[in-house]
Amino acid sequence: MKRKLDENDVPSTEVAEAVSQNESTFETLNLDPRIRQALVKEKFSKPTLVQAQAIPLALEGKDILARAKTGSGKTAAYVLPILQSILRRKANEPSLKATSALILVPTRELADQVQRVATSFSSFCGKDIRAVNLTQKVSDAVQRAMLADFPDIVISTPARVLANINSSALSLNELTQLVIDEADLVLSYGYEDDINALSKAVPRGIQTFLMSATLTAEVDTLKSLFCRNPVILKLTEAGDEGGGISQFAVRCAEDEKFLLTYVIFKLELVKGKCIIFVGDIDRSYRLKLFLEQFGIKSCVLNSELPANSRIHVVQEFNKGVYDIIIAADDQEVLGTKKSKKPSASKDGASNDVDDAEAEFEESSDDEAAQEPSTKTPSNKKQKLTGKQKDYGISRGIDFQNVACVLNFDLPTTSKSYTHRIGRTGRAGKTGMALSFIIPKEEFGKHKPTSYPTAKHDEAVLAKIIKRQSKLGHEVKPYHFEMKKVDSFRYRMTDALRAVTRLAVQEARAREIRQELIKSEKLRRHFEENPEELRQLRHDGEIRAVRVQPHLKHVPDYLMPSKGKKGLVATGSEGYVGIGKTSENRIRKARERNRNKGRRGGAGGRKADPLKTFNAKGRKK
Ligand SMILES: Nc1ncnc2c1ncn2[C@@H]1O[C@H](COP(=O)(O)OP(=O)(O)OP(=O)(O)O)[C@@H](O)[C@H]1O
């Protein structure tokens, strides 16, 4: 019977494990003064644990395989030693023109993020360091020109970099450092052929960094392909993965998911920014249209949107422009997401099973477990292609200051849960994860029908609880006073009824059209007029359903006598916060000022280039 590989199966040469105290400072790391200056500018006062452990070893030239929790600062842990090494190389050889470092990531979003980190930490290095991102949408000619100048650092997905090597636009002859970030994901995005080809293209003996949130058999494969005796850092901090995050599970029916989401956001029971995860793209629009009717603004993030829009949504969310992102976790929708292991694995660790399969196997009967490929078509191992492969909507993305992750639909694996909740509680901050669970006996019983994967909710929750308890964390049951919440049920039903399948399809098509226009046609315009960018809000109303103005307000008679507090069951108080964060206040003040500046009516609209386009279109 197949066995899921566990991180103890990764043979280690030198292992630093469970380092909980971190007393290092950036001064003790002996970094170049220009890098130190950038650290001050970025307000990095103290290295995180992974940085404190990895940077000194990296500066000694060791290969590093680091497992550290999501949001623990892995990016700077490799970017800083890379910058240091390039500066050192250039100090010895000032006329050097060569690509010294290659950073591989699974998605465009991550490439963009890593480039921003590399650029900000090299901001005091003048022309000594140049980083290019090969996943940017530019013509081949422009990309060739960017590479012709021998950028010091190249950031890319495996496929992009290989295409450029094959066309001779990029040479790796002078490469001294290779990073594979999100190493546990790179292979699952279908890059195994590219990775195999790259393992032959990179010079032998260069320094390698494999950075990952989990040590899986995929990471082991990469290790055998690229590393020489790496130091393996298995880092566990006091309050590791999921630490600092209060985790709750709410058992409810399908329609109650909508009811509770409406109540939570309309009454601002959750303070701060929130990411809502749903199972697929249609569902993201269904929820957006539903919330829209109550005047609750949100923006969707899914694989269909152009990359520029996705990056823009994340940037704006991080700046505090939006409070709610509804993310469609397409990886889940594709069924099991992992690809088969590359043949080049040296130590025969090829009996890995997909994590999702493994979880369903364990939670279902043994017979099924032995024949995973015959269970359902979605259980077939499949390779992600094209847009899917270039896209990971939330993993590894640095959503900043997220107060709450709401699993509107539970993911299908505990590993995916870990990645999702890792979007909150980052860089030592606290956060909350709230998950809706459809009880097994409720599945399929009532209308509206539950999301298909919900039939596994209880089994997956059991896995999540087990995994979290191993890490010393608890997933507590959370109880809303459903009797009191019930006063909102009529409005919920009314609003949900208005969100027909047609309305969802229309919204989906319209949003893509709009985002394509924003992304492609206006990219240059906004590059030239950055101040107009703020008008490109992604949380605007789609208005695909009939407007019911009364739904936007909550009349007093709906409120429980104790106010908002009355909605939360005794014993659960104090977790779902009531009140406003300072960030919210800043956002609201910003909005007030914007409105003050607006002269209203046509004058205001004229200034919006998108609306000008529309107006012209309609006149014809
Ligand atoms: N030493 C530090 N001091 C202050 N903030 C830091 C420090 N290191 C990292 N951060 C911040 O912490 C956040 C998370 O960092 P980063 O994205 O590198 O984490 P990660 O481990 O790569 O997470 P993931 O696995 O989810 O990609 C970022 O916003 C980053 O700016």
487 Cα to the center of ligand 1, angstroms: 42
| CA nearest ligand 1 atom 22, residue | 74
Top mutation candidate among 46, 75, 114 for ligand 1, by most atoms within 8 Å of CB: 75
| CA nearest ligand 1 atom 2, residue | 44
Q: What is the pLDDT of residues 455-470, one digit of tens each?
A: 889 999 999 999 888 8
Select the highest-mean-pLDDT range: 249-263, 309-323, 519-533.
Answer: 249-263
Contact predicate 447/351, CB 8 Å: no
Which has the closest alpha carbon to 404: 566, 208, 577? 577
Q: Is the pLDDT of residue 148 over 70?
A: yes
Q: What is the pLDDT of residues 341-384, one digit of tens each?
A: 333 333 322 222 233 333 333 333 222 222 223 233 333 333 44
| CA nearest ligand 1 atom 20, residue | 71
Q: Which helix (H) or strand (E) holds 158?
A: helix 158-166
Q: Is the pLDDT of residue 100 over 90?
A: yes
Task: Please identify, by atom number, the ligand 1 atom nearest to the C-alpha of residue 419.
Answer: 26
Top mutation candidate among 39, 48, 275 for ligand 1, by most atoms within 8 Å of CB: 48
Q: Which helix (H) or strand (E) holds 432?
A: strand 431-437
427 Cα to the center of ligand 1, angstroms: 6
Q: What is the pLDDT of residues 468-499, one digit of tens each?
A: 888 788 899 888 877 777 888 888 888 888 88
423 Cα to the center of ligand 1, angstroms: 11
Which residues, at least 6 apart from 120, have a Cβ–Cβ distance to it below 8 Å? 38, 41, 42
Q: Is the pLDDT of residue 34 over 90?
A: yes
Per-residue pLDDT, 525: 59
In what side-by-side order are the strands of the sheet with 131-133? 14-17, 231-234, 64-67, 207-212, 177-180, 101-104, 153-156, 131-133
User: CATH says 16-235 is which class?
Assistant: alpha beta
Tracing tokens 């539903």 back to the chain, one arrives at 290
When the pLDDT of each residue in the chain is averaged and rounded to a whole number, the result is 73
Pocket (CB within 6 angstroms of ligand 1): 44, 46-48, 51, 68, 70-76, 213, 396, 398, 400, 422, 426-427
ipTM over 0.85: yes
Q: What is the pLDDT of residues 8-27, one digit of tens each?
A: 433 444 445 444 455 678 88
Task: Please identify, by atom number, the ligand 1 atom nearest to the C-alpha of residue 46.
Answer: 1
504 Cα to the center of ligand 1, angstroms: 36
| Banded pLDDT at 197 (limits 50, 70, 90) | very high
237 Cα to the center of ligand 1, angstroms: 14
Cα 578 to the center of its chain, rounded Å: 26
553 Cα to the center of ligand 1, angstroms: 39
| Banded pLDDT at 560 (limits 50, 70, 90) | low
386 Cα to the center of ligand 1, angstroms: 29
75 Cα to the center of ligand 1, angstroms: 7
Where in the chain do CATH 3.40.50.300 domains reside?
Answer: 16-235, 245-339+382-551
Fold of 245-339+382-551: Rossmann fold (3.40.50)
